[in-house]
Every structure is written in structure tokens, then in C-alpha cells.
């Protein structure tokens, strides 16, 4: 008896319910199908493709230790699965669910076709603590506010269970497989040095990250907003690609006891909750990947300005914390979450450039580019989504820098041309006296740009634009 396990964003052996189901069969055929065309607009971006290649290498290595090899195909998922069913005479196909709108529709078609052939077809929750349809308001509606959503989730916390990795697998079928190199996931011109030096994709890297984080999670509540400190878990890309399960992370954080209120563990669990909330919203409001949840924002007067957008992308806005974040993103494929909110606020509120443009840029450059979290984050900052930031929350990049990067270590690392400025001016170099700039070898407009907009004037423009669509303090 043969079962096919279709790997997607679940590139691990441990706590993989689809693999566990397949392991009950005599022969297990593990397959990965590269079909970006079926993901539509949101096919993996450049940074994600690089990570995917490394993660698939890791998965294949771990499968080989169990006795089988990953089969790699490219094309339409249904066609490739049908071909493998024909080649192996498989009786069952298993996979873990995904929740992106285009993938949901594709998977419905695949499942229906396989069932018509008389195959056993089962899908599982391999990505979340709770399915999007398992958590609802008392009236049976989806949540649109985080706090009551997370409270409802925690009532189900005793249902969080895991499955062990199989010890040994067999596949006696001889199948053709592409090499991973043939998928062309890695760039032809190698720009990945910074990403490679910052990350270890794959199962082993994910486990190492979790272990390292558990050793410092107690200080998470105090330090998580400091981009100058190594205080976050950095698990987001590993969770996105399913190299480690969110249930394992949840169990690791709560291993000794349920966290006390306000502890680092409790605050981190809320971050896992925000990830759950993002998928809850994506599933129930799939149009939000392109359009705002709040309909009044459909008429928001966004501006088109290629020059300002390019300055933002390249980290040349003249605001050091914004520029540090954008350069960290370009170099490492990742950005600290506090800084993500600041750079996003700068784009949509200081520059009045649409959140969709920022979401696309993040999608292409983040190694943890996740459709649910990316959509939630951008709509939250723009104020047009569920549990959105209040209309008046327009992050001041100067004050944010002084509060969360008080000694300028983060800015000095990623904007080295300002490294010699004293702390007093590191987040506002345009206010530094000429002699201070000269001593720091900074010539504004040459070594580092002047601010591309005045933040305080930009804030007033943003509030005026919100007033145009009828949003005022009385409504919030």
C-alpha cells in the first residue's frame, strides 16, 4: 500500500500530521510541486524563493535519513499528482492545509478530482494552533478585534497537541525527480550574501533558533521593541515555511507552567496569537489581500510618487531609523517588527503612498513574506483593517528612534555614514551644528540625504486626507 504526502509550507518531519498519516502505509512518496503560476499575484518573491531552495535541501536531507528521498516536480499540482498516482498505484494522498485564497480554490479542485478516482484524500492542520473556522464570536461571526479573538483561542489551549516524527520510511517506487537546481529558485546574480550570513534555513536552523530564544524569552516583554538588541525569536521565516510547527513553539514556551500575566512568555504567546489572527482574517475576508477591510478607505486619496517610493525602498528618506530598517531588509531579508511598523507608517502616512505598494515590496524582499501576516500588518498600520491602528497613530520616526534605539546602535549598524554622530543627533542629523557634522564626516545632501518630507507637515496632510473620507476623532 502506497501513500503520497504532498509537501507545501510544512517542510519538516516533526509534528507534521500529513506525513504522520502517510507513515502508516508500507510505501511513502514525498513530493514537492513547484507551481508558482497557481499562486497568482502572490507567487513567492525573490527572497522567499531563495529560502525555499535551502529549506527543500534540508527537508530532503532529513528524509534521506529515514530512508526515502523527496520527489520534486514542476507544473500544475493536479496533473503532477495524477501522474505520480499513476506511476505508483497509490491509494492515498495527504497534505496539510493552506489558507491563501488562490490555494484554497486550487486545493478544492485537486481534492475533488482525486476523490473521484476513489483515492483516500485527507488534509490536516499543520500550520496553526486553531483552524480559522474553529474560533468565532458568540454570534458565530469571525472576529475583527484581536483581544477577544485571542481570549477565545486561549479557552482552547488544552487542545494544542502534536505528533512525533516517523522513525523510518520506505519507498520502493522508482520515480523521476527534478533536481532542486532545475527549479531556478536561487538568483542567477547572487545578491544573497547578507541573507546567507544572517540565516540558517531548514529544520536544524529552526530548532536552533527556538532553543536560543527559549533561553532569553523571560526578557522578551522588556526588550522586544528594541531593534538594537537581539531580543526577538526570529522564528518567523521558519514558521512560514513550516520548518518548525507553531504548536511545538507554543509547547516550548509553556513547557514548565502557564505563563504569568505580563511575563515574557505571555507576551510572546500574544505574538503567536497575532499570527493566528492574521490567518483568521485572511480566511474570512480573502479580498483584503488587495482591498481594505474598512470600505471607507476605498476612496482614500493615495498619491503616486515614484521618486519618493524609490527613496523609501532604498533607505534614503533622510530619517535614520526608517533608512536603517529598509537597509536591514535589503541586506538580510528581515526587519525588526517595531521598525516594520515605523517604516510602514512613514510610507502610508508621511508619503501617502498606498499600503498595497508597501505590501508588494515587503513580499519580494522578506524571507518571512507571509500573505496573512503581511496583509494584516500593512492594513493595521494604514488604519484600514481589523483592529487597525487609530487614525491619529502616525509614528514619529525621530521619537521612535530615540525611545527604542537610544544609543543609536541600530542606526549606526545599518546607516554607517552616520556612525560618528553623537547620540544627541543620530536620529535627527539635520539639526546637528555644522561643526558636529564636520567632526562626524557627514555632509548632508552628499553623504546622507536631507529628509524627503517634513514629518510634522506630513502628519497634518495625513490627518486631512483621513478627514476627506470622513474619519475623525469622533469616529475612533
For the segment 216-238, what is each residue's pLDDT rounded down to a tens digit? 999 999 999 999 999 999 999 99
Asked if residue 168 belongs to a domain, the reply is: no
pLDDT of residue 472: 60
**Residue 475: pLDDT band with limits 50, 70, 90:** very low
| Cα distance between residue 172 and residue 223, in whole Å | 52
Per the structure block, which three cell numbers stand in for 40? 497568482
- CATH value at residue 19: 3.40.50.620
For the segment 399-425, what is each residue's pLDDT rounded down to a tens digit? 999 999 999 999 999 999 999 999 999
pLDDT greater than 60 at residue 272: yes
pLDDT greater than 60 at residue 122: yes
For the segment 307-345, what is each residue's pLDDT rounded down to a tens digit? 999 999 999 999 999 999 999 999 999 999 999 999 999
What is the arrangement of strands in the sheet containing 120-124, beginning at the earlier edge strand? 71-74, 27-34, 2-7, 92-96, 120-124
> 327: closest CA among 311, 305, 306?
311
| Cα distance between residue 157 and residue 233, in whole Å | 21
From residue 127, give the alpha-carbon distance in Å to each of 58, 246, 318. Answer: 19, 7, 40
* Same-domain check for residues 60 and 114: yes
- Residue 33's SS3 state is strand
| Cα distance between residue 51 and residue 185, in whole Å | 9
The domain boundary, picked from 262, 284, 306, lies at 284
pLDDT of residue 471: 74
List the domain range (segments joined by +) for residue 33. Answer: 2-126
pLDDT of residue 391: 60
* Same-domain check for residues 413 and 312: yes
* Same-domain check for residues 343 and 400: yes
For the segment 335-379, what is each residue's pLDDT rounded down to a tens digit? 999 999 999 999 999 999 999 999 999 999 999 999 999 999 999
* Same-domain check for residues 154 and 29: no
Cβ burial of 82 (10 Å; 0-12, 13-18, 19+) is middle
Asked if residue 268 belongs to a domain, the reply is: yes
CB 398 within 8 A of CB 346: no
Among residues of the chain, what percentage have pLDDT more than 70? 98
Asked if residue 191 belongs to a domain, the reply is: no
* Count of domains observed in the chain: 3
* Same-domain check for residues 331 and 451: yes
Q: Which residues contact 377 (CB under 8 A, 6 or more apart)?
A: 278, 340, 341, 344
pLDDT of residue 389: 61
* Same-domain check for residues 17 and 55: yes
Average pLDDT over residues 275-301: 96
Asked if residue 185 belongs to a domain, the reply is: no
* Same-domain check for residues 378 and 344: yes
For the segment 50-94, what is each residue's pLDDT rounded down to a tens digit? 999 999 999 999 999 999 999 999 999 999 999 999 999 999 999
Q: What is the end-to-end Cα distance of the chain in Å, rounded?
A: 60
- CATH value at residue 458: 1.10.579.10
* Same-domain check for residues 121 and 132: no
The domain boundary, picked from 76, 102, 126, lies at 126
CB 21 within 8 A of CB 122: yes
| Cα distance between residue 206 and residue 187, in whole Å | 23
- CATH value at residue 246: 1.25.40.80
pLDDT of residue 470: 83
* Same-domain check for residues 345 and 401: yes
* Same-domain check for residues 310 and 457: yes
pLDDT greater than 60 at residue 280: yes
pLDDT of residue 458: 96
| Cα distance between residue 83 and residue 191, in whole Å | 36
Mean pLDDT for the chain overall: 96
Please count the helices (runs of H) and the strands (runs of E) in the chain.
Answer: 20, 5
pLDDT of residue 257: 83
Asked if residue 111 belongs to a domain, the reply is: yes
Asked if residue 410 belongs to a domain, the reply is: yes
pLDDT of residue 339: 98
Among residues of the chain, what percentage have pLDDT more than 90? 94
Q: Which residues contact 85 (CB under 8 A, 6 or more apart)?
A: 4, 93, 114, 117, 119
Catalytic residues: 271, 274, 302, 337, 355, 378
Average pLDDT over residues 253-269: 93
From residue 233, give the alpha-carbon distance in Å to each of 28, 166, 207, 215. Answer: 34, 27, 11, 10
* Same-domain check for residues 262 and 378: no
| Cα distance between residue 227 and residue 327, in whole Å | 13
Chain centroid to Cα 405, Å, comes to 23
* Same-domain check for residues 35 and 103: yes
pLDDT of residue 204: 98
pLDDT of residue 476: 40
- Residue 300's SS3 state is coil
Q: Which residues contact 123 (CB under 8 A, 6 or more apart)?
A: 18, 94, 95, 96, 97, 107, 111
For the segment 164-204, what is each residue's pLDDT rounded down to a tens digit? 999 999 999 999 999 999 999 999 888 999 999 999 999 99
The domain boundary, picked from 257, 284, 311, lies at 284
Asked if residue 186 belongs to a domain, the reply is: no
pLDDT of residue 196: 95
Asked if residue 167 belongs to a domain, the reply is: no
Per the structure block, which three cell numbers stand in for 465? 486626507
**Residue 392: pLDDT band with limits 50, 70, 90:** low
Amino acid at each position: 500500500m502506497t501513500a503520497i504526502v504532498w509537501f507545501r509550507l510544512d517542510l519538516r518531519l516533526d509534528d507534521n500530521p500529513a506525513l504522520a498519516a502517510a507513515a502508516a502505509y508500507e510505501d511513502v512518496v514525498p513530493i514537492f510541486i513547484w507551481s508558482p503560476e497557481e499562486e497568482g499575484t502572490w507567487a513567492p518573491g525573490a527572497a522567499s524563493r531563495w529560502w525555499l531552495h535551502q529549506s527543500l535541501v534540508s527537508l530532503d536531507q532529513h528524509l534521506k535519513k529515514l530512508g526515502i528521498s523527496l520527489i520534486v516536480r514542476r507544473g500544475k499540482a493536479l496533473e503532477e499528482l495524477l501522474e505520480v498516482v499513476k506511476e505508483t498505484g497509490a491509494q492515498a494522498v495527504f497534505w496539510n492545509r493552506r489558507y491563501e485564497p488562490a490555494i484554497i480554490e486550487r486545493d478544492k479542485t485537486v481534492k475533488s478530482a482525486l476523490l473521484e478516482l476513489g483515492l483516500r484524500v485527507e488534509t490536516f492542520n499543520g500550520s496553526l494552533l486553531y483552524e480559522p473556522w474553529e474560533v468565532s464570536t458568540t454570534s458565530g461571526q469571525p472576529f475583527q478585534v484581536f483581544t477577544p479573538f485571542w481570549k477565545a483561542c486561549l479557552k482552547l489551549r488544552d487542545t494544542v497537541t502534536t505528533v512525533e516524527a516517523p522513525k523510518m520510511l520506505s519507498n520502493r517506487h522508482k520515480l523521476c525527480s527534478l533536481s532542486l537546481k532545475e527549479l531556478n529558485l536561487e538568483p542567477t546574480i547572487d545578491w544573497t550574501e547578507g541573507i546567507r550570513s544572517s540565516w540558517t534555513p531548514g529544520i536544524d536552523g529552526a530548532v536552533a533558533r527556538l532553543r536560543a530564544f527559549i533561553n532569553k524569552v523571560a526578557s522578551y516583554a522588556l526588550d522586544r521593541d528594541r531593534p538594537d538588541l537581539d531580543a526577538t525569536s526570529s522564528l518567523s521565516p521558519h514558521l512560514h515555511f513550516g520548518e518548525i510547527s507553531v504548536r511545538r513553539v507554543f509547547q516550548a514556551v509553556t513547557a514548565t507552567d502557564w505563563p504569568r500575566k505580563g511575563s515574557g512568555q505571555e507576551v510572546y504567546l500574544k505574538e503567536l496569537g497575532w499570527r493566528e489572527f492574521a490567518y483568521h482574517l485572511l480566511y474570512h475576508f480573502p479580498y483584503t489581500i488587495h482591498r481594505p477591510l474598512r470600505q471607507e478607505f476605498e476612496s482614500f486619496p493615495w498619491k503616486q510618487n515614484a521618486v519618493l517610493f524609490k527613496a523609501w525602498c532604498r533607505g534614503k528618506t533622510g530619517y535614520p531609523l526608517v533608512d536603517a530598517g529598509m537597509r536591514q531588509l535589503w541586506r538580510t531579508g528581515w526587519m525588526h517588527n517595531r521598525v516594520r511598523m515605523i517604516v510602514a507608517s512613514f510610507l502610508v502616512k508621511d508619503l501617502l503612498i498606498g499600503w498595497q505598494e508597501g505590501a508588494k515590496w515587503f513580499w519580494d524582499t522578506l524571507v518571512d513574506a507571509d500573505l496573512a501576516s503581511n496583509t494584516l500588518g500593512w492594513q493595521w498600520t494604514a488604519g484600514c483593517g481589523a483592529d487597525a491602528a487609530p487614525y491619529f497613530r502616525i509614528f514619529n520616526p525621530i521619537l521612535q528612534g530615540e525611545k527604542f534605539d537610544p544609543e543609536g546602535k541600530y542606526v549606526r549598524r545599518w546607516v554607517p555614514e552616520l556612525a560618528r554622530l553623537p547620540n544627541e543627533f543620530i536620529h535627527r542629523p539635520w539639526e546637528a551644528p555644522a561643526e558636529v557634522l564636520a567632526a562626524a564626516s557627514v555632509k548632508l545632501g552628499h553623504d546622507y540625504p536631507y529628509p524627503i518630507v517634513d514629518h510634522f507637515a506630513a502628519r497634518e496632510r495625513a490627518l486631512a486626507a483621513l478627514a476627506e473620507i470622513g474619519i475623525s476623532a469622533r469616529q475612533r
